[in-house]
Amino acid sequence: MNNDAFVEKCYSELEDKITHSGMTTGFEVMQLIEQAKIREAVLMILEAIGEDPEREGLKDTPDRVARMYAEIFSGLAEDAGVYLECVFTEEHEEMIVVKDIPFYSTCEHHLVPFIGKAHVAYIPAGGKVTGLSKLARVVESIARRPQLQERLTREIADVIMKKLNPQGVAVVVEAEHLCMSMRGIKKPGSKTVTSAVRGLFRKSAKTRAEFLSLIKT
Ligand SMILES: [Zn+2]
């Protein structure tokens, strides 16, 4: 299928959706159309590196990459804060730590993955506590965008501060960047560690030390 045919197919799928469900969101429309654009771009990259986009192994690659990009960049279309909207009341004002949250993100400078773990802690205030899995959802949502590790770390801390209004938040992210491992200085296995601390974690060295000792064990 050439690109025009693909765009045509997108539009007819879209029309089907509108006719049969009676509704379609702006985001769905955007996703279908933008996938056609990604497909065209990938086709051009394959041609530019001297490959034959028609050969068997490659002929569906632009389609596959387009679908994959819709998934790995889906965080762009959502506000990670929605995962923290559902809170429950629990008179717990001690530190809550979720460590080793795995994530896969994409380096915005090279569009290759960086992969690692996030450790997230907060100290609730006013009994506002969230489900533990929701913190992992926040990490995943913010990771599914073209990212920098520094910004990923900061955004996780800031969204938790904003939504839960806790006494403090601490986030440590450790990751391997494939743009450093498979190209450039080629240092496989090296890890970049970033941290962001807010509230009590910033003010109190003792609180910070407790968090660091908890994520080490
Ligand atoms: Zn990079």
For 158-205, the pLDDT digits (tens) are: 999 999 999 999 999 999 999 999 888 778 888 999 999 999 999 999
For residue 48, CA distances in Å to 37, 146, 191 come to 16, 23, 33
Q: How far is CA 131 from the centre of its chain?
A: 19
Q: Name the residue among 115, 90, 107 with its Cα closest to residue 184.
A: 107
Counting other chains too, the contacts that 153-161 makes at CB distance below 8 Å and 24 or more residues apart are 153/118, 153/194, 153/195, 153/196, 154/196, 155/80, 156/80, 156/118, 156/120, 156/196, 157/196, 157/197, 157/198, 158/196, 158/198, 159/80, 159/81, 159/84, 160/84, 160/120, 160/122, 160/135, 161/198, 161/199
Provide the mean pLDDT of the chain: 89
Active-site entry in 10, 140, 155, 177: 177
Residue 119 lies in a domain: yes
**What total of structural domains would you count in the chain?**
2
Residues 135 and 189 in one domain: yes
The one catalytic residue in 31, 78, 110, 174 is 110
Residues 97, 200 within the same domain: yes
* Reported confidence tier of residue 145, pLDDT bands at 50, 70, 90: very high
Question: What separation in Å is there between the alpha carbon of 88 and the centre of ligand 1?
Answer: 39
50 shares a domain with 147: no
- Choice between 108 and 14, residue whose per-residue pLDDT is larger: 108
Which pLDDT does position 1 carry in this prediction?
60
Q: Does 125 map to a domain? A: yes
For residue 11, is pLDDT > 70? no
Separation of 110 CA from ligand 1 center, angstroms? 5
67 and 110 fall within a common domain: no
The pLDDT of 4-23, averaged and rounded, is 63
In this prediction, residue 87 carries a pLDDT of: 85
Same-domain status, 68 and 86: no
| Residue in the block written with tokens 């051009």 | 44
- Residue 34 sits in the same domain as residue 103: no
Task: Decide if pLDDT at 5 tops 80.
Answer: no
Of residues 51 and 12, more confidently modeled: 51
Instruction: Give residue 25's pLDDT.
Output: 59
Burial of 79-98, coded b for 16+ CB within 10 Å and e otherwise, reads ebeebbeebeeeeeeebbeb
Do 111 and 210 belong to one domain? yes
| Distance (Å) from CA 112 to ligand 1 centroid | 7
Helices (H) and strands (E) in the chain, counts: 8, 7
Q: Does residue 77 belong to any structural domain of this protein?
A: no
* Distance in angstroms (rounded) separating the CA atoms of residues 136 and 24: 29
Question: Do both 110 and 52 map to the same domain?
Answer: no
**Please, how many CA atoms are within 13 Å of residue 147, restricted to the half-sphere of its CB?**
30
User: CB neighbours of 16 closer than 8 A, spacing ≥ 6?
Assistant: none
Q: List, for residues 109-126, the tens digit of each pLDDT value.
A: 999 999 999 999 999 999
Greater pLDDT, 68 or 29: 68
Q: How far is the CA of 41 from the centre of ligand 1 (A)?
A: 20
Q: Is the pLDDT of residue 77 over 70?
A: yes
Q: What is the CATH number of the domain that holds 48?
A: 1.10.286.10
**Which pLDDT score is estimated for 33?**
72
pLDDT of residue 103: 98
Distance CA 190, CA 168 (A): 30
174 assigned to active site: no
Based on the fold, state whether residues 171 and 205 are members of the same structural domain. yes
Residue 79 φ/ψ region, left for φ over 0, alpha for ψ in the -120 to 50 degree band, beta for the rest:
beta
Please give the pLDDT value at position 18.
57
Tell me which residue range forms the domain holding 154.
82-216
Same-domain check for residues 122 and 204: yes
103-112 average pLDDT score: 97
3-7, 82-86, 100-104, 145-149: segment of lowest average pLDDT: 3-7
Q: Are residues 136 and 206 in the same domain?
A: yes
Q: Do 102 and 65 fall within a single domain? A: no
Averaged over 136-146, what is the pLDDT?
96
